[in-house]
Amino acid sequence: MNADQIKTISVIGSGAMGSQIAMVSALAGYSVTLQDIQEESVVKAEQSLRDRLGKRVDKGKMSKEELDEAFSNMTFTTSLEEAVRDADFVIEAIVENLEIKRTLFEDLDRLAPKHAILSTNSSTIVSSKVADATNRPGKVCNFHFFNPALVMEMVEVVQGPHTSNETAEVAMELARRLNKTPILLKKEISGFVANRILAKLMNEALYLYENEIATAEEIDLACTKALNHPIGPFALIDLTGLDVHYNIRQYRYEETGNEEDKPSPVIVEKVKKGDLGRKSGKGFYSYS
């Protein structure tokens, strides 16, 4: 199989990441199906995409014709069977729970065409953890986008010990055709490249915050004004969700047993209170 043979992409999970990955694929001209088990989530995803892309049209960043064409390339469904029956490349973007992912990959293997590549967008669960739930481990890899996927240019492709060279090459070329810049990791490692570097920054930012050396706002300013980062660590945690940050750190801790990998006390406290960032209206910052 080569990248020229990929015509249809299926994205499983219609949250912020999944819906934007689907739109990135539709904008690149692929036939795309976005699936979620909840009808409400699918409806919300479509409306969110229409609002977001509508703003681009209003600002003259894309034409109404381009918007209409992108949506004409998309199908929204709650049926997994319908979503993947014609798929050439599947991108899983569901909750970061290994058992749920393994069950899904069993279903994907059963329902998707035998030639289809099955990828996961996860940056914490390496694909070897789900590949053996399928009868096509050579066609399984990590295909990791960054949030927000419509804006961020990087995709990390991870070739696990089970992943064939062909699959890795096809994934890399597909990323380029989606107008992204891919890098290839030849070995599996939790967190991959960007998020491992980011985790060290987050750890230091949280240490400074918890020890009352500086406020979240001041630490973010240091990163944006002194280090020229586009967004500070606390604003970034709010954007991606404190619950997402918590789950990633908890999974890493369970994997390594290293106390330093545990979610920080302030993150635990805020998640318990329901302060999840932008999605809840409050995290390290308040959002009206």
Catalytic residue among 48, 164, 195, 247: 195
- CA 167 – CA 21 distance, rounded (Å): 19
Active site residue 144: yes
32 phi/psi in degrees, rounded to 5: -130, 135
Active site residue 65: no
- Strands in the chain per DSSP E: 8-12, 31-35, 74-77, 89-92, 117-120, 140-145, 154-158, 181-185
Sheet of 117-120: strand order equals 74-77, 31-35, 8-12, 89-92, 117-120, 140-145, 154-158, 181-185
Catalytic residue among 31, 41, 123, 190: 123
Burial-class residue 266 by CB neighbours within 10 Å (0-12, 13-18, 19+): middle
Active site residue 123: yes
Closest alpha carbon to 121 in 154, 72, 88: 154
Catalytic residue among 92, 96, 156, 188: 156
Active site residue 162: no
Cis bond before residue 148 (omega within 30° of 0) = yes
Catalytic residue among 10, 41, 142, 144: 144
Q: Name the residues annotated as catalytic.
A: 123, 144, 156, 195
